[in-house]
Amino acid sequence: MYGNISITPPPTPPRNGEGSHIGRFCFSPPSLSGKGVGGLGCLIILLALICGCAGSSHTKPEPAEIDAMAEPYKKNIVQITAEFSNSESKYGFGFVVGEESDNLYIITAKHVVQSDIPDIKPKDIQVQFYENQGKTYPSAGIPYLSESAYDLALLEVKKPFESYRWEKRCYDVKAKRGDYVWFIGQNKEWDVSLDAGIIKDKASPTNFFKYKADMHSVQVGTSGAPLFTRNGIVGVIIEDSLNNVFALGIEFVKEAVKNLNKRWDLDEQCQQGDIFARITKRRETKEQIRKFSEKADFYFHTGQYISPKDENAYDYYKKVLNADIADRHAQSRILDILKNILSSLDKKVREVYVPLIIAEKQGRNVKDDMVKIVDQMLADLTDSKKICEEYPKPQKDAETDLMCKKLDERIRKYELIRVEYQLKNTGASGG
């Protein structure tokens, strides 16, 4: 019994020489000779085509679809390294299941953070997040462990950064035999495997699950990883052996976390098609951005920065930013447009305005020409100013602000010049 839940205990983990954790750990698939393969390798996270994808659960998606569906879950997944006082070290994976204040709760297999030698406590446990690879974060104290019969542990780790977000939808309690499963993670990386496994056996929503996976691309090191079907997470992987992956059911994991009085924030149900719809929309948005960028780049290179209306570089870069406000290419190009407009204005001043000033000093009547050229420059500047008023910057951009201030200065300058020459023309006609 665990709490109020009766479950069928998982098989006893194999020991050294039997496809077990040798030296550096994890349940390693046995070799053809029956010998164990040492070392916990990379994370294998059997990844499902997420929440409510369109189509039957028995329809294999295309590789590009699998890769796209894996992406939202990567931010949930962490690499785990445990060091012990006896110089033993282990490594595996886990995934976020809850959040409280600035703390995250991460579920993993207990043997990832527990020594093979009784009474040896972990000296240091570090996790690494997908969105901040290369930097590790310590687990707070000794991990919370479930009863000894069940291979589960819960880590408590500070959020890697303030804006960190993880995918809370969803987990799957309706998985059935024959459903496809996938994994993320090869060689300690968050790579996506395109080979599908198939659920071989499932006793009940809270019981131990047994899955059979296509092992062509599977490598050692699944422990702690979430197992996914098309509709979400179905369990925590605690062992892999030749052609089989074993996991504890997600409902059991949920009860274990709650019995430790810790937060559980994974959604029990996902809205049918919700994540798939978001993924589809994201793909459509990326394609739309690509088309907008191509048109914008064409107009940019042909000098159609802000005209004609609706068919110019700025308007199309603005569409890109409306779809993805953080698109750096569009941000950079809009800044270039402002620079090029000011540069073009400076060229016009040198080639047209300055010669008119010289001609006026020589006694020629250039008032009408001067008003005409100033009006042209003001029209260009005024049209350009809309960039500063509309530009949807994701954050304050000092260089763009500087360009906008220069535009404002030029507008004020040439408005005064136009008024001056208009008064001169009025005075000339009145005299």
Domain identity same for 359 and 240? no
Q: Is the pLDDT of residue 22 over 50?
A: no
- Tell whether 183 is covered by a domain: yes
Across residues 292-304, what is the average pLDDT?
94
Domain identity same for 114 and 202? yes
Using alpha carbons, select from 323, 324, 306 the residue that is nearest to residue 315: 306
For the ranges 85-89, 109-113, 381-385, 396-400, the lowest mean pLDDT is seen at 396-400
What pLDDT was estimated at residue 143?
87
Q: Which element (helix H / strand E) includes 200?
A: strand 197-202
Q: CB within 8 A of 192, min separation 6: which ones?
A: 47, 66, 67, 70, 182, 183, 184
What pLDDT was estimated at residue 213?
55
Domain identity same for 259 and 212? yes
Q: Is the pLDDT of residue 2 over 50?
A: no
Q: Predicted confidence band at 223 (pLDDT cuts at 50, 70, 90)?
A: confident
- Tell whether 143 is covered by a domain: yes
**Residue ranges making up the domain that contains 249:** 63-270
Percentage of residues of the chain with pLDDT beyond 70: 72
For the ranges 76-80, 130-134, 255-259, the lowest mean pLDDT is seen at 130-134
CA 136 to chain CA centroid, nearest Å: 18
Mean of the per-residue pLDDT values of the chain? 75
Tell me how many domains the chain contains.
Answer: 2
- Tell whether 35 is covered by a domain: no
Residues 143-162: tens digit of each pLDDT? 888 776 788 999 999 999 88
Q: Is the pLDDT of residue 139 over 90?
A: yes
Task: Give start and end residues of each alpha helix (H) in 311-353.
Answer: 313-323, 328-348
Tokens read off for 27: 């349940």
Using the 3D structure, point to which of 236, 270, 304 is the last residue of a domain. 270
CA distance 422 to 414: 12
Is residue 98 classed exposed, middle or buried when 0-12, 13-18 and 19+ CB atoms within 10 A define those classes? buried
Which amino acid is located at 225 in the chain? A
Write down the pTM of the prediction. Answer: 0.53
DSSP state letter for 11: P
What pLDDT was estimated at residue 214?
53
Domain identity same for 182 and 224? yes
What pLDDT was estimated at residue 38?
39
Domain identity same for 230 and 364? no
Using the 3D structure, point to which of 245, 270, 295 is the last residue of a domain. 270
Across residues 226-247, what is the average pLDDT?
78
Domain identity same for 249 and 355? no
Domain identity same for 307 and 187? no
Tokens read off for 157: 């780790």
Q: 3-class SS at 208?
A: strand
Q: Predicted confidence band at 43 (pLDDT cuts at 50, 70, 90)?
A: very low
Using the 3D structure, point to which of 247, 270, 293 is the last residue of a domain. 270
Domain identity same for 239 and 321? no
DSSP state letter for 411: H
- Tell whether 262 is covered by a domain: yes
Q: Is the pLDDT of residue 293 over 90?
A: yes
Q: 3-class SS at 397?
A: coil
- Tell whether 373 is covered by a domain: yes
Domain identity same for 266 and 295? no
Domain CATH code at residue 109: 2.40.10.120
- Tell whether 206 is covered by a domain: yes
Domain identity same for 219 and 247? yes
Three-class DSSP labels, 224-260: CCEEEECCEEEEEEEEEECCEEEEEEHHHHHHHHHHC
Domain identity same for 87 and 232? yes
Which amino acid is located at 377 in the chain? M
φ and ψ at 227, to 5 degrees?
A: -100, 130
- Tell whether 37 is covered by a domain: no
- Tell whether 251 is covered by a domain: yes
What pLDDT was estimated at residue 278?
62
Domain identity same for 356 and 411? yes
Q: Is the pLDDT of residue 47 over 70?
A: no
Residues 166-192: tens digit of each pLDDT? 888 778 777 788 888 877 766 677 777
Using alpha carbons, select from 82, 120, 112 the residue that is nearest to residue 94: 112
